[in-house]
């Protein structure tokens, strides 16, 4: 459920017509709904009701500071994967004890930044990382709270590029080696073991793989406790999927996920952390774009938009589907015809959809890509020297630009021509 609906024939974000924002900000732009973000956070928070828990928004899905402040004010923590994300979280007012640090390649600088700035825990992904973190923490006279990310060797049944829990994936340590590495961790003066971490992939559309992984985590918890470790926190990762196409079967909802967590892990008396990204922000955002041209090819029609793969990379990167809808509601019974929806970038990969059935559209018309709030703006680039796409946040009848479109001057000024040229 989201708050992007037609009213009087015009697509709105909450109470604001998206066409009004287009007139003010220009196209393309991303628009997010406060009510939808809030609703999705509460769904997860309530799903874990009764368990000691923290919902840590995986901010790689959407990292605008305004959105982080909104979620942080609701009580969310965040999962960060870089020093830049850590800095954004702090800029949004999120305290260190609600920030978890994930990622296979943390640098010493990032470790220092988080240790001195405050951190809930590092999710450590390898033995070499563990040793470096020990060294950095000891050097600062601190102890780093850690979980070890274990790889349960479970196929999440999702897209290859976003599957992370199989033994051929680069993430975590093999679960079979976990007890040895925990023993090593316990011997390091700069390390404090607090729990276990697992994250098996993204855009999962069934609970089975989660349940299989969490079953292994339950066993590992008992085994590690038997070895004398304090395991008081389980970080279960993110990954619950969303319906990208309106007619697709809907994936499980947070309440069902929460019930499964209770069933598999509730008896362990652990603090539970989850790291949803996509399900919190995906359907809370749209990308609005204008039709530039309708080009009749030999055997197909191309709808050429002013948005491109640099603004929304998912279709080019993962072959992902996004529903595309006109901002003016089509008349009932309007004839739909297949068109190829493309952007202006000089690559054939700059194709959003092939043979997509759309109602008649003409140059100047506006369209919205639905479900674009996660892994949308954060993956945008300035390829083809197209200015970074702006972001707008709506609450009720208010809307604000939360990241402005840079001017050409601002873009060019970042380049430096050496004096010797
Ligand atoms: C990407 C990622 C997430 C979020 O995944 P979603 O599918 O967006 O929920 C959570 N935790 C880790 C470690 C990740 O890499």
- Asked if residue 137 and residue 9 are part of one domain, the reply reads no
Do 339 and 218 lie in one domain? The reply is: no
Please write the tens of the pLDDT for every residue from 321-379: 999 999 999 999 999 999 999 999 999 899 999 999 999 999 999 999 999 999 999 99
Distance 55 CA to ligand 1 centre (A): 12
Query: 189 and 293, same structural domain?
Result: no
Sign for the CA dihedral angle at 191, 125, 175, 241 comes to positive
Shared-domain flag, residues 314 and 342: yes
| Residue 418 resides in a domain | no
In a shared domain, residues 212 and 290: no
Rounded percentage of the chain residues whose pLDDT exceeds 90: 92
Do 252 and 342 sit in the same domain of this protein?
no
What residue ranges line ligand 1, CB within 6 angstroms?
58, 60-61, 79, 102, 199, 202-203, 237-239, 275-279, 374
Q: How confident is the model at residue 185 (pLDDT cuts 50, 70, 90)?
A: very high
380 part of a folded domain: yes
Of 238, 253, 280, which marks where a domain is finished? 280
The phi and psi torsions of 370 (rounded to 5 degrees) equal -85, 165
Decide which of 234, 262, 280 is a domain's last residue.
280
- Among residues 280, 304, 320, the one where a domain terminates is 280
CATH of the domain at 228: 3.20.20.10
Please state, in angstroms and rounded to a whole number, the distance separating the CA atoms of residues 168 and 411: 40
Which of 280, 264, 232 is closest to 121 using CA atoms?
A: 232
| Predicted local distance difference test score (pLDDT) of residue 1 | 67
Same domain, 80 and 173: yes
Tens-place pLDDT, residues 38-58: 999 999 999 999 999 999 999
Mean pLDDT, rounded, for 180-207: 96
To 5 degrees, how large is the angle CA 151–CA 153–CA 155?
120
Residues of the chain by 3-state class (helix, strand, coil), percent to 5: 35, 25, 40
Both 112 and 170 in a single domain?
A: yes
Q: Is there a catalytic annotation at residue 56? A: no
CA of 103 to the centre of ligand 1 (A): 10
Query: CB of 113 within 8 A of CB of 70?
Result: no
Say if residue 26 is in the same domain as residue 67. no
Joined tokens for residue 121: 């825990």
Is 324 within a domain?
yes
Residue 421 belongs to a domain? no
Domains in the chain: how many in total? Answer: 2
Write the residue with the smallest CA distance to atom 10 of ligand 1. Answer: 238
Please indicate whether residue 171 or residue 294 has the higher confidence score (pLDDT): 294
Q: Check which CATH number belongs to the domain holding 308 and give it.
A: 2.40.37.10
**Domain range enclosing 195:** 34-280
């Amino acid at each position: 459920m989201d708050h992007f609906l037609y009213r009087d024939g015009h697509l709105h974000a909450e109470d604001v017509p998206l066409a009004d924002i287009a007139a003010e900000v220009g196209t393309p732009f991303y628009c997010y709904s406060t009510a939808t973000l809030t609703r999705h956070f509460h769904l997860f928070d309530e799903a874990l009701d009764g368990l000691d828990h923290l919902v840590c928004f995986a901010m790689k899905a959407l990292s605008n500071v305004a959105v982080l402040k909104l979620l942080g004010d609701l009580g969310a923590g965040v999962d960060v994967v870089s020093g830049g994300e850590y800095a954004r979280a702090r800029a949004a007012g999120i305290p260190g004890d609600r920030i978890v640090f994930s990622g296979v390649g943390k640098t010493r600088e990032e470790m220092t930044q988080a240790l001195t700035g405050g951190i809930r825990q590092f999710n450590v992904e390898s033995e070499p990382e563990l040793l470096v973190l020990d060294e950095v923490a000891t050097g600062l006279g601190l102890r780093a709270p850690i979980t070890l990310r274990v790889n349960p060797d479970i196929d999440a049944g999702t897209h290859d590029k976003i599957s992370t829990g199989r033994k051929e994936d680069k993430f975590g340590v093999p679960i079979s080696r976990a007890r040895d590495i925990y023993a090593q961790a316990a011997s390091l003066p700069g390390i404090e073991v607090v729990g276990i971490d697992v994250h098996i992939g993204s855009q999962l559309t069934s609970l089975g793989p989660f349940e299989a992984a969490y079953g292994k985590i339950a066993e590992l918890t008992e085994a590690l406790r038997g070895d004398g470790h304090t395991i008081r926190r389980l970080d279960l990762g993110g990954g619950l999927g969303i319906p990208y196409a309106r007619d697709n079967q809907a994936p499980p909802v947070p309440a069902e996920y929460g019930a499964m967590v209770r069933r598999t892990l509730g008896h362990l008396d652990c603090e539970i952390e989850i790291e949803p990204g996509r399900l919190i922000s995906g359907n809370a955002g749209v990308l609005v774009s204008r039709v530039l041209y309708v080009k009749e090819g030999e055997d197909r029609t191309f709808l050429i938009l002013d948005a491109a793969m640099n603004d929304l990379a998912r279709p080019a990167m993962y072959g992902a589907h996004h529903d595309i809808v006109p901002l003016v509601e089509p008349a009932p019974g309007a004839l739909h015809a297949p068109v190829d929806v493309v952007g202006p970038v000089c690559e054939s990969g700059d194709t959003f959809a092939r043979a997509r059935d759309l109602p008649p559209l003409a140059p100047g018309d506006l369209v919205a890509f639905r479900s674009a709030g996660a892994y949308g703006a954060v993956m945008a680039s300035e390829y083809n020297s197209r200015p970074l796409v702006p972001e707008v946040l709506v609450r009720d009848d208010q809307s604000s630009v939360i990241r402005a479109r840079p001017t050409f001057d601002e873009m060019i000024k970042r380049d430096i021509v050496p004096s010797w040229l």
